Amino acid sequence: MKKKLIPSGVTIIDSPPGTSCPVIEAIKGTDFVLLVTEPTPFGLNDLQLAVEMVREVGIPFAVIINRADVGDDRVKEYCAKEGILILMEIPEDREIAKTYSTGGIVLKEIPAYSEKFSFLAGALLS
């Protein structure tokens, strides 16, 4: 797949969660890694492993917290302690789940998220 990428374009590669071989292969040669986590004990554990992996290969990265209003603040505390930038927090929202379940596009059907994702895109492209 990477052989088909356009060198001058922006490409987003979605990988499976975790730190397995497919994840390492997906991030090889990338300019930036966006780690998505949830504020749960399992989410924190997986984030810590992913941060270690990304730091080992030397790729800049940041975090998005999905379902940010579920769980506790340990993910935020870990990111603050480690100097990790949190680019976005996405709350638990039934409207997002409904939109996905019907094949809809969140930014079109829930305009409140448009500004958040525009900020995220700007941060990633700068």
Among 108, 110, 114, 109, smallest CA distance to 88 is for 114
Q: Is 41 part of a structural domain of the chain?
A: yes
Q: State the pTM of this model.
A: 0.87
* Residue indicated by tokens 């302690």: 81
CATH number at residue 36: 3.40.50.300
Amino acid at the residue 25: E
101: in domain? yes
Per the structure block, which two tokens stand in for 84?
């990790």
Contact indicator for 88, 116 with CB cutoff of 8 Å: yes
**For residues 8 and 32, what is the distance between their CA atoms, to the nearest angstrom?**
15
Taking only the tens place, the pLDDT of each residue in 26-85 is: 998 899 999 999 999 999 999 999 999 999 999 999 999 999 999 999 999 999 999 999
pLDDT exceeds 70 at position 8:
no
Q: What is the domain extent for residue 87? A: 32-125
